[in-house]
Amino acid sequence: MHTETIDHGNAEKPPHLRFQFSDSARQFHAAKFGMWLFLGQEVMFFSALLCAYAYYRNQFPVAWSMASHHLNTTFGLLETINLLFSSFTVALAIHFVRLGKRTITSVLLFVTLACGILFLVMHSYEYYTEYHEGLLPGRFFHPEAGWHMPMESAMFMSCYFFTTVLHSIHVLIGVGVLGVIMVFNMKGKYSPAYYTHVEIGGLYWHLVDLIWIFLFPLYYLVA
Amino acid sequence: MSLAVVEQAPGHHEGAEEPDYIRGKSGVMSWVLTLDHKRIALLYLATVTLTFFLGGVFALALRTELLVPENGIMDAMTYNRMFTLHGVTMVFFFMIPAIPGVFGNFFLPIMIGAHDVAFPRLNLASYYLFLAAVCLGVWGMIHGGTDTGWTFYTPYSTTTTTTVLPILAAAFVNGFSSILTGVNFIVTIHTLRADGVHWMRLPLFIWALYGTSVIQVLATPVVGITLALCAVEHFLGTGIFDPARGGDPILFQHLFWFYSHPAVYIMVLPAFGVASEVVGAFTRKPLVGYRMIALSTFGIAFVGFLAWGHHLFTSGQSAVDAGVFGFLSMLIGIFTSIKVFNWVASMYKASIVMTTPFMYALGFFFLTVFGGMTGVALATISLDVHWQDTYFVVAHFHFIMAGAVVLMFLAALHYWFPKMFGKLYAEGPAMVGAVLVILGFIGTFTPQFFLGNEGMPRRYYSYPAHFQWLHVASTIFAYILFLGLLLTLVNLIVALVSGEKAPNNPWGAPQYEWDIPSPPTEHNFPATPVINRDPYEYRGEGIIENAH
Amino acid sequence: MILAAAFYNEWMRKLLNLPPQASSVAEGVDNLHYFVIAVTTLVSIGIALAALVLWATYRNKGKGTVGQVVHPGLSFEVFAISGPLFFFLLWFFIGFRQYVEMESPPDDAMEVYVMGKKWMWKFAYPDGPNAVGVLHVPVGRPVKLLMTSRDVIHSFFIPAFRMKKDVVPGRYSELWFTATEPGSYEVFCAEYCGTGHSMMRAEVVAMKPDEFDTWLAQQRNGFASRQQDSAAATEESPRVEANMVLQGQRLASEKGCFKCHSVDGAPHIGPTWLGMYHRREHLSTGETINIDEAYITESMMEPTAKLVAGYGPVMPTYMGKLTAPETAAIVEYIKSLRNPELQAQPSEAATYEPSRR
């Protein structure tokens, strides 16, 4: 494809610069700006769910708090710390890729990845317990005998499952994206002059983390 | 020459013509995997033409059924599926993607002096998401279709036994297509403007696309998640919108209209943008009130987010909520009226060239003002109590959405046809088609205002006999409208096959895109241009042939 | 003058193809309607004509002619904004005032329970018969409809009254009107509800007050009701009882309400029902509320949503365990416990539609 670049006369065009951009700085700015817009979209995505959450919590405060007590707060806390730590490592990865330290960057990306996977494993275990306790949402809500739970607690579990599964899907996508970036990094695709993918991948990961920071108190710590 | 090309590429010889974007490459793969925004625009054009035809066939079947009070050509269940599919196809597969997908993609980079959009691969991905949505939708239709109405109100949509899931999935996927297009356009406008194109030099079509994109990015995810909740509820019984489990069906309506009210502006703002371009081109003088038209776009986009509650006046909303939503809805009308006044004022002391696109614009003025003001009438709360869910609403939104959007889609198609394909069409049949389409629209939907006044509810398969004569009138004009569209289609296909070669600027229009060859070359400009004039600055005598 | 106004009203109504004005709000709404539609039509046609005239006047006189650059001053933009704004806000205020009136039923309104289901309308009078498809109301007296749905959302629409309200499952919505002209008026379901949506029609029969009283008395005798509303009796389960208060009392004991609620003012696990209707109660959240039909219904469906201070969240939900008419009957029963005098049931009440059990 001869059309990938257009000759502007000035010979030294870096290979990563696409034809529609006049310089690297602008291309980097565009990628980052695009990611921010996408994150804005993600926030709206979750905000609709938080609306539903707020509305029903206001309607059924008792049912809400009773159901919340059955979530595993310790696990939730560990998951929160785990994600916060991974946000820290991905921030460090961006720092080191800027300095051109390829190996450290790879290691940090790998740690982030591992944290993401650990989060998914822990959350799966939580779902597994809830399944056993009969705490599935909607018409699958059959809490074990002896628990006195209002029927509206099923609504809590519906909101909880829908929101956290959606969040977990985001974590999964994040893990995939960071994995690809890690491989690219090991192949030497990035340099202090060009590290766009690492930067926007990191941005995405921070958002996934941020959403969890909101979800944790909203679902696990209902008074 | 007003569009100065600096930085002349050293290897570029005068006269060594670069091939245009259509002939530049050949083979199926060069189209299927193209990253060129102009070719992607043509892919969109082919797809939305098909979906428009599909939606139109559904509409004609509906109108034919309504010729008689009951037992026409289909049964109630078929009718219910038919109006749902008409709505879904027209809203999600035609009106939302049509103007941004086709003309936005084609002209946005050219109008800001860029070689392409910021993310060409994302652009292609948007198209394929759209195509996937259409395929999912058609697949759902083949498997019986659904009967929920395009609004998918719960608990009907969560309990219906028809195939609602593929249709919901189609709307969801289509949402992602429009979000990604929105992101792409905003970034392109921010980062790829050529030197000299400062913000107050952006063509008004670009401003309109900018406003549209903002709404797409902020509102579409909300409906995406709402439809996902609806789908999950349908097969898992999660109960979020199910009153039997403590859920509230009205919450669905709030979340749905939080998107779908702004979505009206996703459809209509690009149409306003086209109107500005057409008026700017054929009045042969600078547009009146450029700044006001541009700013009012954002007024509409902003207030559009705050008015969704006017769809729920009869749902048991409190009087206070109704008052607030009613008040805010009134403000949107102001921003639209600013635009209309400025367009009409632009004709004062102008030198108007009557062409097919301008004829469409004249029809558009009437349809938009009447459609828009009946919208304000509907936002008048006590009147809405009578009109809500009647044919008055149907007539209103067909005037503003279908009338304005379809008319401006056709105007854009005729206006930019020579640039896009390098061919001229026959003016006579095009003009006859335009007049038939405009009269057809007015004639089809005016009787429906009267039907609504009399109390005819929408989505009725059968009706009391006293409504019949108005239905018959509406149906007759629907066929005239169809005839006009058919004539237009045939005329443009003939032009495509055997039209005369178009000059670079057949209209003598002042906008930037007419300076480059028709059809444009693969990267639009031989080098990054510098633009040193305003977009509607008419450049004096005659038609300027582009110096090449 | 009055004659001219009446003539104008009638002429505009016919021109706009509006149905007769048969409720107390209809004429006011129509007057606003004429105003809004007249302005809308004049402005749209005016703008279209202006565009045509401008086109005819300023046609291009040959290739190359250029228009004159005109910059209208600030006054043009001010006009473009304030002109429409004036009309829009005027309409808003008139419309809002009318809407508030439509939303505020008078205290003495006669209540009728309405239940929408696929695809029929059922009406139940607190002290009278049930009916399907025909709602009898007296002319000149306010009537309040308490409406709910058994399945999906419907909407109760009486074009001649200019009235409409959605009927939502799981909640009660209110609609009130005063019929002004005797006659029979169409009722449509205006919210799409499935295959039979367009056949979900009913009829409002507005009768002169004395005729209505006679009709109601006849219904009480049970003699006419078997002819008039036999559909209601045969279609609905045999549990239908004519007197909703009695039915409510029976249901309350069947469903075990009296295990926790007393009806004589004695303290128990739950609040007593005696005098509960229109009592002001403090909630556990600190709010004070007025106990009305909506609150009673909500407390049956979502007992934990709003707890009266001092009581625990122990009541089970009756969502799905009570049908809408049963809920309505229990609400009516609780309302009948307003004061000791009313507690004595009218003894003849049971005779007009004998229980079939």
Chains near A with 3+ CB pairs less than 8 A apart are B, C
Q: Check: CB of residue C169 under 8 Å from CB of residue C157.
A: no
**What pLDDT is stored for residue B324 in this prediction?**
93
Q: Given this model, what pLDDT does residue C44 score?
A: 94
Q: Is C157 on the interface with B (CB under 8 A)?
A: yes
Distance CA B460, CA C192 (A): 8
Asked if A155 reaches chain B (Cβ–Cβ under 8 Å), the answer is yes
Mean pLDDT score, B334-359: 91
Q: What average pLDDT is seen over chain B? A: 90
**Out of A185-189, B177-181, C20-24, C215-219, least confident range:** C215-219
Distance from CA of A167 to the nearest CA of B (A): 12
C82 versus B545: the higher-pLDDT residue is: C82
Q: pLDDT grade, residue B153 (50/70/90)?
A: very high
Convert the pLDDT of each residue in B239-281 to its tens digit. 888 887 778 899 999 999 988 899 889 999 999 999 999 999 9
A61 CA: distance to closest CA in chain C (Å): 7
Q: Mean pLDDT lowest for which of C18-27, C201-210, C278-287, C332-341?
A: C332-341
* CA–CA separation, C223 and C353 (whole Å): 9
Tell me what the pLDDT averaged over chain C comes to: 81
Task: Please name the residue that has the structure tokens 């229009």.
Answer: B509
Residues of chain A with Cβ-Cβ distance to B258 below 8 Å are 48
Range scoring the smallest mean pLDDT among B277-281, B505-509, B536-540: B536-540
How does C128-154 read in b/e, with b if 16+ C-beta sit within 10 Å? bbbbbbbbbbbbeebbbbbbbbebbbb
Beta-carbon contacts of residue C349 (< 8 Å; ≥ 6 apart): C127, C220, C242, C243, C245, C246
pLDDT, residue A148, reads 66
B24 or C91: which leads in pLDDT: C91
Lowest mean pLDDT among A18-32, A85-99, B105-119: A18-32
Give the mean pLDDT of A24-52: 93
% of chain B with per-residue pLDDT over 90 = 71
In the predicted structure, residue C195 carries a pLDDT above the cut 80? yes
pLDDT at A11 > cutoff 80? no
Residue A20's pLDDT is 86
* Average confidence (pLDDT) over A128-157: 78
B202-229 pLDDT, tens per residue? Answer: 999 999 999 999 999 999 999 999 999 9
- Which pLDDT band, with edges at 50, 70 and 90, does A6 fall under? very low
The percent of residues above 70 in pLDDT, for chain A, comes to 92
Alpha helix positions (H), C229-318: 230-235, 244-254, 293-301
Q: Residues 81..140 of A with a Cβ closer than 8 Å to B: which?
A: 137-140
Which ranges in B192-318 belong to alpha helices (H)? Answer: 204-236, 249-282, 290-304
**Amino acid identity of A60?**
F
Both structure tokens of A72: 């595993």
| Residue-level pLDDT at A69 | 85
**A127/A116 Cα distance (integer angstroms):** 17
Task: Count A/B contacts: CB-CB distance under 8 Å.
Answer: 142
Any idea what the Cα angle at residue B347 is, between residues B344 and B350, rounded to 5°?
A: 170
Q: What is the mean pLDDT of residues B44-59?
A: 95
Which parts of B349-436 are beta strand (E)? Answer: 423-424
Residue-wise pLDDT for C230-276, tens only, equals 444 444 433 344 567 777 877 887 777 876 787 777 666 778 887 78
Count the Cβ atoms, other than its own, within 10 Å of residue A144. 11
C265 or B464, greater pLDDT: B464
Residue B242's closest CA among B155, B160, B152, B153? Answer: B155
User: What is residue C351's predicted lDDT score, i.e. its pLDDT?
Assistant: 26
Q: What is the mean pLDDT of residues B153-161?
A: 88
Write down the pLDDT at residue C353: 33
The lowest-confidence range among B60-64, B362-366, B420-424, C351-355 is: C351-355
Higher pLDDT, B371 or C284: B371
How far is residue B105's CA from residue B42's CA, in Å, rounded to a whole number? 9
> Do strands B500-501 and B423-424 pair parallel, antiparallel, or not at all (unpaired)?
antiparallel
Q: What number is the average pLDDT over the span B497-525?
A: 90
CB B31 within 8 A of CB B43: yes
Q: What is the mean pLDDT of residues B181-188?
A: 96
pLDDT category at C346 given cuts 50, 70, 90 is very low
Q: Picking from B398-402, C81-85, C320-324, which range would have the lowest pLDDT averaged per residue?
A: C320-324
Across the interface, whether the CB atoms of C72 and B541 are under 8 A apart is answered no
Query: Which parts of C58-165 fold into alpha helices (H)?
Result: 74-102
Judge whether residue B385 has pLDDT over 70. yes
Q: Are B180 and B129 in contact (CB under 8 A)?
A: yes
Mutate to test the interface with A, among C284, C287, C298, C302 (most CBs of A within 10 A): C302
B90 inside 8 A of chain A by CB: no
| Joined tokens for residue A143 | 């809490």
Cα Rg of chain A, angstroms: 22
Which of residues 285 through 314 in chain B touch C, CB cutoff 8 A? 285-286, 288-289, 292, 313-314
Beta bridge partners of B244: none
DSSP B405: I
With a cut of 70, say whether residue B363 has pLDDT above it.
Answer: yes
Burial class (CB in 10 A: 0-12, 13-18, 19+), C272: middle
**Is residue C341 scored above 60 in pLDDT?**
no
- pLDDT of amino acid C128: 65
Instruction: Report the neighbours of C using a cutoff of 3 or more CB pairs below 8 angstroms.
Output: A, B
Do the beta carbons of residue A125 and residue A177 sit within 8 Å? no
Cβ contact A62–C313 (<8 Å): yes
CB-based contact (8 Å) between C267 and chain B? no
DSSP-assigned letters across all residues of B221-249: HHHHHHHHHHHHHHHH---TT-GGGT--H
State whether C303 and A60 contact (CB < 8 Å).
Answer: no
- The mean pLDDT of C11-28, rounded to a whole number, is 94
Mean pLDDT, residues B55-64: 95
State the pLDDT at residue A135. Answer: 83
The C-alpha atoms of residue C58 and residue C38 are separated, in whole angstroms, by: 29
Residue-wise pLDDT tens digits, A151-182: 778 888 889 999 999 999 999 999 999 999 99
Give the confidence band of C63 by pLDDT, cuts at 50, 70, 90: low
Token output for C27: 């004429």
Q: For B534-548, what is the mean pLDDT?
A: 54
Q: Which residues 44-73 on chain C approach chain B with CB closer than 8 angstroms? A: 44-45, 47-48, 50-52, 54-55, 58-61, 63-72
Q: Which residue of B has its CA nearest to A38?
A: B183
Residues in B 525-544 with any Cβ partner in A closer than 8 A: 527-528
Average pLDDT for B442-462: 95
